Amino acid sequence: MTSAVSTLRAILNPRSVAVVGASSDPAKFGGRVMHFLLKHGYRGRIVPVHPAATEILGLPATANLCAAGDPVDVCILALPAGHLPAALEDCGRAGARGAVVITADFAETGADGATRQDELLQIARRHNMRLIGPNCLGYINPQLQLALTSSVALATEPMQRGAIGLASQSGSLMASLISHAQDLGTGFSVAATVGNQADVDLCDLVEYFIDDDGTRAICLYVEGLKDGARFLELAQRARVAGKPILAVKAGRSAAGRQITQSHTASLAGSYAVWEAACRDHAVCLLDDPEALIYCADFLIRFGAPAKSTVAVMSPSGGTVAVTGDRVVSAGLALAEPGETTRRELLKLLPPGRTINPLDVGGLPRASGLDSALTAYELLARDPAVGAVLIAVATTPLLEDKVRRWGAAALAGKTPTAILLTPGTLVDGARAALKDIGCPYTNRLDDTLRVLRAAVDYGEALRDPPPPALPSKVAAAARIHAATLPAGRLNEPETKAMLRACGISTTDDVLARSIEDAVAAAQLIAYPVVLKGVCRNLVHKSEAGAVKLDISDAGALRAAWHDIEQGLAAHLPGTTLDGCVVQPMIRGGTELIVGCRWDDQFGPVVIVGTGGVLVEILDDVQMAVAPISAGHASRLIARLRIAPVLAGARGRPAGDMVALAETIARVSELAAALGPRLAELDINPLLVLEAGRGVVALDGRATLAH
């Protein structure tokens, strides 16, 4: 355990706390903190700090923490911003190991606030003190009955203990999830907010949770990471430790994406990169904060499904039909139970019923309770079933059935999601499941989120983690890039860089005049392609600067003039640097392969359906670079165009081996050049028939200064 984690452990598990700005008035921040500390029964030492009071809520108060005796482990400060520097200095001089700053009006408000925040950070560092916040709501540690927060969510009792570790950049959201977990009968090892992350950040808490024996699942609300590479390293550690990380990330919309000039960079927006990085490191992504608690509780109780298939059952034919449809529309596969399971189920059911989804309603009353349980057990034990979804509808003996299903689920090895649909009618069933510690959901959307997250987590665990790769292209890439100018590279320069890294391109000639172009075409042999070259030209097709299937010298001359006129109209005042002449290659499938530098995660490689419709179709996959050819093959398989590449409807299969190797080489190029290679597009990369390879028909790149 690092010293930083050891210090954070002492702060989150304190034997003593000081409340700076303490009050007996629960309407004030410092008053609520004091009330919650006493209300929930924290047994450690509590030191109220107040400039005038000598006693607060029966505890002796002090005006100066240095005069309070032994140092405290953590101080929580609930003061106006202007009073914080002096108060924090007092905490540091008194030997406090950490400080939680609730007060807002710092970096979140702009440059002046950032300056004030930096002053607090410098004070903390000068005294070797960790700082949580500012602009946060503190934390809770139910294991210690400690509520070091001013959130009104702690006005209710009890503070439920559990094995979920929660780290949030939103204080109010943490408070809501504390209440939500309480309703579900689950709880936290620690739930903490980090606010502006001036010092302690999300990664620090993730590292703490990985090392904490009381935490079995880690939930995150993320607005931004300070260190993406560290987060991925910790995600790998969590994977090895068997602790799932579940995250909700703000900023999914197009409005939050960085606007850039290349296809690759616009496709690989910030959320898309986050999604790809998390997928490859077994981090479960969710779109709803409450689902964090549902999914974490489910994975703690059941673990990940061994297979990515679902069996659906319900005592209602309508409910099971709708649920089965929704399972499929959520991208989950319905299991196909084996013959033995089918034969045994048919003994229990009226004639004509399907096996999955399975309607267990209308069974004989004398045997219905036992048969409903047996039906579940048969599905859960079937080797083809990864998880079971029980959609509970109104049925005789409802509470008894639900209790028995829940107990059997906990006793078995098959993850089971129980959906309670009939509202308050099944409050008794909810209470029964809480009593035995069995998770449940109240809405089908939440049930599907749980199953989708559990299945995705199981699939991620079965995929090998990204390996550390020796680069085949690093030295060549660095040497060649050193000869290139900063800024946009034109097509010939980009292709030269690709060839230096072993990536196949067309055999091009850069012609500076029409006569040079005619001579090059005769050498290459018609038909040829003519493309304008200009550093300011980003999208050639939009300017009419790409002419295909040119069959003779006359057509070539006309095409040159068309390109000059199109460029003048598209970019007035811009001069054509020449034209590329290249062979016309027919057949194959067009893809885009590229890379970009991401501020959070570093080099990112992308592959997708290419050509002029690349951004419209939005059929892309990406990964943090570098990746192996095997990893590249998994990206290809996720594309919607994958069946075409594999040879759908009588088409010849593409050269998937060469494609995967090319993607891997591009990823190594991105990793080798790092932030210097701001972005690269190979569009299109033509995938030829199996055994014939791939060829880069066009390319552009931007090198940073």
Lowest mean pLDDT among 143-147, 198-202, 222-226, 354-358: 222-226
Q: What pLDDT does residue 2 have?
A: 60
Residue with tokens 């929580």: 76
295 has a pLDDT exceeding 90: yes
Structure confidence by residue, pLDDT tens digits, 507-548? 999 999 999 999 999 999 999 999 999 888 877 888 889 999
692 has a pLDDT exceeding 50: yes
476 has a pLDDT exceeding 60: yes
Higher pLDDT, 394 or 531: 531
- Cα–Cα distance between 510 and 229 in angstroms, integer? 41
User: Would you identify the CATH topology of the domain 589-703?
Assistant: D-amino Acid Aminotransferase; Chain A, domain 1 (3.30.470)
- Return residue ranges of the chain for CATH 3.30.470.20: 589-703
Q: What pLDDT does residue 3 have?
A: 67
17: nearest Cα among 148, 123, 133, 107: 148
Q: What pLDDT does residue 612 have?
A: 67
Q: What pLDDT does residue 260 have?
A: 32
Structure confidence by residue, pLDDT tens digits, 312-363? 999 999 999 999 999 999 999 999 999 999 999 988 888 888 999 999 887 7
Q: What pLDDT does residue 1 have?
A: 53
pLDDT band at residue 33 under the 50/70/90 scheme = very high
pLDDT band at residue 263 under the 50/70/90 scheme = very low
Neighbours of 564 (CB within 10 A): 16
Structure confidence by residue, pLDDT tens digits, 629-644? 999 999 999 999 999 9
Highest mean pLDDT among 248-262, 325-339, 360-374 belongs to: 325-339
Mean pLDDT of 259-274: 54
- Return residue ranges of the chain for CATH 3.40.50.261: 303-462
Structure confidence by residue, pLDDT tens digits, 56-73? 999 999 999 988 889 999
Q: What pLDDT does residue 107 have?
A: 86
Lowest mean pLDDT among 120-134, 464-478, 647-661: 464-478
Q: What pLDDT does residue 199 have?
A: 95
Helix (H) or strand (E) holding 546: strand 546-550
Q: What pLDDT does residue 89 have?
A: 96
Contacts of 477 (CB under 8 A, 6+ apart): 497, 500, 501, 668, 669, 672, 673
254 has a pLDDT exceeding 60: no
- Return residue ranges of the chain for CATH 3.40.50.720: 3-296
- Cα–Cα distance between 510 and 507 in angstroms, integer? 10
pTM value is 0.90
470: nearest Cα among 609, 665, 250: 665
DSSP per position, 493-541: HHHHHHHHTT--B---EEESSHHHHHHHHHHH-SSEEEEEE-TT-S-GG
Structure confidence by residue, pLDDT tens digits, 410-452? 999 899 999 998 888 889 999 999 999 999 999 999 999 999 9
- Cα–Cα distance between 141 and 76 in angstroms, integer? 14
- Cα–Cα distance between 99 and 11 in angstroms, integer? 8
366 has a pLDDT exceeding 70: no
Superfamily of 303-462 according to CATH: Succinyl-CoA synthetase domains (3.40.50.261)
Contacts of 425 (CB under 8 A, 6+ apart): 394, 398
With b for 16 or more beta-carbon neighbours within 10 A and e for fewer, the 344-363 pattern comes to: bbeebbeeebebbbbbbbeb
- Cα–Cα distance between 241 and 211 in angstroms, integer? 9
- Return residue ranges of the chain for CATH 3.30.1490.20: 507-584
User: What's the distance, Cα to Cα, between the start and end of the chain in Å?
Assistant: 40
- Cα–Cα distance between 98 and 75 in angstroms, integer? 6
What pairing do the DSSP bridges indicate for beta strands 677-687 and 694-696? Answer: antiparallel
Looking at every residue in the chain, the average pLDDT score rounds to 91
Mean pLDDT of 157-184: 91
Domain 507-584 has CATH 3.30.1490.20: yes
Kindly report the length of the chain: 705
613 has a pLDDT exceeding 80: no
**Residue 697 · residue 508 · CB < 8 Å:** no
pLDDT band at residue 368 under the 50/70/90 scheme = low
User: Would you identify the CATH topology of the domain 3-296?
Assistant: Rossmann fold (3.40.50)
